[in-house]
Amino acid sequence: MKAKITEKEATEVSLEVTIESDIVDSKLDEIYNRSVQELNLPGFRKGKVPRSFIKARFGEDVFYDDAQEELIKEYLPMALQENEIEPVSEPETEPQEFSQGEDFVFEVSVEVMPEVEVPEYSEIEVEDIDTDEIEDEDVEDKIEELQEENGQLVPKEEEVVESGDYVMVEFNEGRTQQVYVDEDENSSLTQFIGKEVGEEFEFELEGEGEELETTELRVDSIKQLDLPPVDDEFAKDMGYDDLQGLRAKVKTDLFEEREEERVQELGEKILDEIVQETGFEPPQKMLKRVSEGQIQDTISNVGEDRFSDLLEEQGKTREDFQSDIQESASEQIARRVIIKQIAGEEDIELTDEEIEEEIEEEADRQGVNPIKLKNQLKAQDQFDSYKDALLKRKVYDFLIDAVNISTEEGKDE
């Protein structure tokens, strides 16, 4: 096989692939031997039909289409690999003349990502992200969250619903459901406030159409959250020596969370600057396919009529909607490509030990077994995405160290 690039543009490459005649003849023999075993013609035993008879009966080119298809399928990946081409979409092929005893030539057109030249990191300057100090109030708010997480629901003595109560609701068909009631003015559940145990009332639904504006509900029971006192015993139940130790750990965790947010936001800021500097633009055909696919998915989920209504509500045309999708997809693709390129150029990799360490830390934060978390990520096809996120974090760490970070005072890190 011979493969040569005949045309190369920023996002598209054309190849000419030549497969030698002996390989062509061998493929035709292979297909004949395979096909003759399935032929059942009068006057011939199965598997013994002469090739000359098959050609006379079905035509000289009886096996040509199958041979072309199989040769392209077999040799196209080799041709792309030989020329170090990574397609971002299904290659388009155009076979030339095909005949037994002759070389087989086919042309290939593939979409590729444009080459990116990352600018010198020392020339990039971005302003640092401000992070607030951890105040005592922040620590107490977090401890209050822990207190609520460790509270227990108990029956409420007063039989009137108030904000903060948990209400067991009975629907008119007998189904029950527990809901949390608060004073959020945007929540329809405020309708429960003031209702008594056993009381039935018409509950106003939201966005359900004219025929289902209300439904009949009954307050079956009311519970409230019984909170444990925040003291040394509470801290010990959480795995700490005393309340002071719990507060210290909460403060450390909050600091790490804010630093993680700073790194994420600052890394994205630097990456956006690099994307802008490179002028990276993904292949337009690729973006068109992505947008058309997302539109079809949306229509499949909500229906054509509802999709039209959504466009009208947003004051957009179908073309506007497609353009928005393409713009968003372009940004996401640009980030992924440049992260991958920086990781490759700077030899930034994730070791198995680093992955396991990160999983253990995440499992500790969630209070689950590390093995269970890892298996869960794999079962939900999220393990690769999880590793990509870890690699992105390492790239962000590298970029933050490599570029110029300016502060409000005008000093560089």
Average pLDDT value for the chain: 87
- Arithmetic mean of pLDDT, 114-127: 90
Tokens at residue 351, please?
């070791």
Q: How far apart are CA 222 and CA 175, in angstroms?
A: 16
- What's residue 48's pLDDT? 60
- Arithmetic mean of pLDDT, 98-105: 92
191 C-beta neighbours (distance < 10 Å), count: 15
pLDDT digits (tens, 9 = 90+) for 57-80: 565 677 788 899 999 999 999 999
pLDDT digits (tens, 9 = 90+) for 301-339: 989 998 898 899 899 999 999 999 999 999 989 999 999
Cβ-contact 197, 220 below 8 angstroms: yes
- Arithmetic mean of pLDDT, 10-27: 93
- Among 37-41, 43-47, 97-101, which range has the highest average pLDDT? 97-101
Which domains occur in the chain, in start order? Answer: 2-111 (3.30.70.1050), 152-226 (3.10.50.30), 243-406 (1.10.3120.10)
Band (pLDDT 50/70/90 cuts) for residue 209 is very low
- pLDDT of 39 above 70: no
pLDDT digits (tens, 9 = 90+) for 270-292: 999 999 998 888 888 888 888 89
